Amino acid sequence: MRVLFAARDTLWTDWAPALTRLAPEMELIRADDQADPASIDAIVFAPGGPVSDLSPYVNARLVQSLWAGVERIVTNPTLTQPLARMVDPGLARGMAEFCTGWCLRAHLGMDAYAQDGVWRHDLSPPLADARRITILGMGELGRSVSAMLGGIGFRLTGVSASARPVPGVEVLGPGDLRQALSGAEILVNLLPDTPQTRNLLDADRLSWLPRGAWLINPGRGTVLDEAALMASIEAGHLAHAVLDVFRTEPLPPDHPFWSEPRITVTPHIAAHTRPETAAPVAIDNIRRALDGRPVLHLVDRRKGY
């Protein structure tokens, strides 16, 4: 099988050995190899690479994304092939660890213990089963995060378009968003970027959160109205926000988030796609497509994910 590696050159060093080791029968081709597009059986794709026009690859049976987010390819008008998003167990584990770490920081009130000689013996936190956490988005990442948080004992509410049951989580539909937010002492956003989710967390909906709530956003920057968040923080309604994703990345040095002590900026590091755990997913899906078997994690283009 001939597979086109349509991703940045910087990714080749790590990904090419991981992919070819699992599929020695595969000929992995770079875009600058000038291979006949009609000879390509599948495409491994990541945004920012050398290929944007997918129309010449008329015989490619699958475009396998290397990233979980597909918003930068799903709207490509030249995409006619089936598109699969990456569901990497290593990425899901990394996201769960990121969210759990920051939720514990918020829950335990770690920032309250300034090293200034003051004995703050009255600032002991409640146990986890008294802390309410809401997770927006209960897909693969949301379920992974909820499993880790639930293992600690947190009281979990999830919001899901499908409202599919998740063990240990009270799952609500989008119509119950106000109920889900009003009970969220900690809010974790894992929603994808779609027309329905953009600016979902605006001034009105942020006001539904309890006073003193924390917001953790490792999902998509477009879900959050940045001006509304700053206003809520400055008014003292939200206690803190941990932001890993932004409308503009890298976040400009003069952006007000950097200088606001109640906002923690992390540089889009909540979860990485790791070749050692993601390559098996990609190879399995390519083989499925070429064998005529069902492909995993196909993108619904109407929904955008």
| Sequence ranges of the domains in the chain | 2-88+273-291, 89-265
Per-residue pLDDT tens for 26-67? 999 998 898 999 999 999 999 999 999 999 999 999 999 999
Q: Which residues pair with 264 in a beta bridge?
A: 242
> Residue 194 — very low, low, confident or very high, per pLDDT cuts 50/70/90?
very high
Q: Would you say 287 and 42 are in contact if contact means Cβ atoms under 8 Å apart?
A: no
**Which pTM was predicted?**
0.90
pLDDT reported for residue 158: 98
* CB atoms near residue 53 (< 10 Å): 11
Is 90 exceeded by the pLDDT of residue 156?
yes
pLDDT reported for residue 227: 98
Asked if 240 is an active-site residue, the reply is no
Chain-wide mean pLDDT for the chain? 96
Region 215-237: what's the mean pLDDT?
98
Strand ordering across the sheet containing 132-136: 169-172, 155-159, 132-136, 186-189, 213-217, 238-243, 263-265
Q: Would you say 245 and 268 are in contact if contact means Cβ atoms under 8 Å apart?
A: yes
pLDDT reported for residue 300: 93
Architecture of domain 2-88+273-291: 3-Layer(aba) Sandwich (3.40)
Percentage of the chain modeled with pLDDT above 70:
100
State the Cα–Cα distance between residues 275 and 300, nearest whole angstrom: 25
pLDDT reported for residue 282: 98
Is 90 exceeded by the pLDDT of residue 272?
no
Per annotation, catalytic residue among 2, 93, 198, 268? 268
> Residue 303 — very low, low, confident or very high, per pLDDT cuts 50/70/90?
confident
pLDDT reported for residue 247: 96
Helices (H), the chain: 9-22, 71-74, 89-108, 140-152, 177-182, 203-206, 226-234, 275-291
89-265 belongs to CATH 3.40.50.720: yes
Region 199-207: what's the mean pLDDT?
98
Per annotation, catalytic residue among 61, 85, 220, 240? 220
Asked if 198 is an active-site residue, the reply is no
Domains 2-88+273-291 and 89-265 share a fold: yes
- 169-172 and 132-136 strand pairing: unpaired
The CA–CA distances, whole Å, from 298 to 64, 82, 145 equal 9, 7, 22
